Amino acid sequence: MYRLLTALGRGFKEKIGWKRLGIAASLFIITIAVMTLVRTLKGVDGGIILTALTEIAPHRIALAALCVVGAYFTLTFYDFFALRTIGKKHVPYRIAALSSFTSYTIGHNIGATVFTGGAIRFRIYSDYGLSAIDVAKICFLSGLTFWLGNLFVLGIGMAWHPSAASAMDLLPPAVNRLIAIGCLAGIAAYFVWLLMGEGRRELGQNGWKVVLPSARLTLLQVLIGVVDLGFCALAMYLLMPTEPYIDFVSLAVVFILATLLGFASHAPGSLGVFDAAMLVALPQFSKEELLASLVVFRILYFLIPFGISISIMGVRELWLSVLQPWLERRRLSEAYTAKATVRQPINNRQP
């Protein structure tokens, strides 16, 4: 049996591989989502959507925008926490904030976040002496923060309101509650594993090893993920139609599941996947009104931060590649001219 499993595993790696399987899974999710979205949007009136957009109260949009700011502020601590965990304490918070914000917003909007976000992080952190392996560790620890926060909130939410996820995963509430308990049990087991370890817990092999945060720091890690996710879900909640009523926990469960599907798809901005999941899971709302809420959320959470990130990175590259070298050359030229001016009278002095 062991030989059979080993042979199957070797054949899987040679013929298919995890990378191809991941691409296939992403394409499958995107295809299903697009088909669902097209089917769901049949008969939707564009005029009603425009009307619904104007009916969202300005103060709710302003509060949602503040929540988005809070979410991205919390997001900056993903990288800062990871940097301190791997011992790169010389990198200041402002650089961690820049890297975390730009890598997430640009990477998530373009797609293939692992590669695009990693490339942006390396471009920023390489100026501070960090290697590609260091950046890979930061990406891993930031992802761990994200998943711990998501699984914790999802576990609490589905245990409390298991029926909220049933419209999306089509599973009975009892099964969803078991899944929720499994998520929470998995996090608890992870904490026990950290506490029972002698010394530090490490993952990886020879050339690539990452030291995991201690149990005490993992609590902080979970808290960062929970606050970030809480702000995002609250922003979406504030933009939802007022009728019919939906409680925050139920919406949070749907929102997290839709977000995770969007991440799994690697679609640019989770476009189509996130929206289809929200529409399917919340059939009690008018499609036009819900679409209006999703449009505003996309503008606040995706488009505006994306534009800000592109502008920041563009200005930074202009400064590093053009303006800074030009100013340095000008400074050196002025210094050389000043020295030549000082030496001139001495050289012309008659004996």
Whether the pTM exceeds 0.85: the reply is no
Please list, in sequence order, all residues whose beta carbon lies within 8 angstroms of the beta carbon of residue 119, skipping any fewer than 6 positions away: none
> Stretch 110-139: mean pLDDT, rounded?
84
CA 69/CA 228 separation, integer angstroms: 10
Please tell me the predicted confidence (pLDDT) of residue 342.
64
* 228 burial type by CB count under 10 A (0-12 exposed, 13-18 middle, 19+ buried): buried
- Residue 326 or 129, more confident: 129
Tell me the torsion sign for CA atoms 225, 231, 235, 240. Answer: positive
**Residue given tokens 């008969």 in the structure block:** 43
Residue among 196, 259, 205, 207 at smallest CA distance from 230: 259
pLDDT digits (tens, 9 = 90+) for 171-229: 899 999 999 999 999 999 999 888 886 566 777 766 677 888 888 889 999 999 999 99
Token pair recorded at residue 294: 């999703």
Tell me the one-letter amino acid at 156: I
Residue 330 pLDDT greater than 80, yes or no: no
pLDDT digits (tens, 9 = 90+) for 246-270: 989 889 999 998 888 887 777 777 7
Q: Integer distance in angstroms from the first to the last C-alpha of the chain?
A: 100
CA 145/CA 104 separation, integer angstroms: 14
pLDDT digits (tens, 9 = 90+) for 44-73: 656 667 777 778 889 999 999 999 999 999
Q: Write the DSSP symbol of residue 198.
A: S
Residue 351 pLDDT greater than 60, yes or no: no
pLDDT digits (tens, 9 = 90+) for 127-158: 889 988 888 889 899 989 988 988 999 899 88
> Stretch 68-79: mean pLDDT, rounded?
94
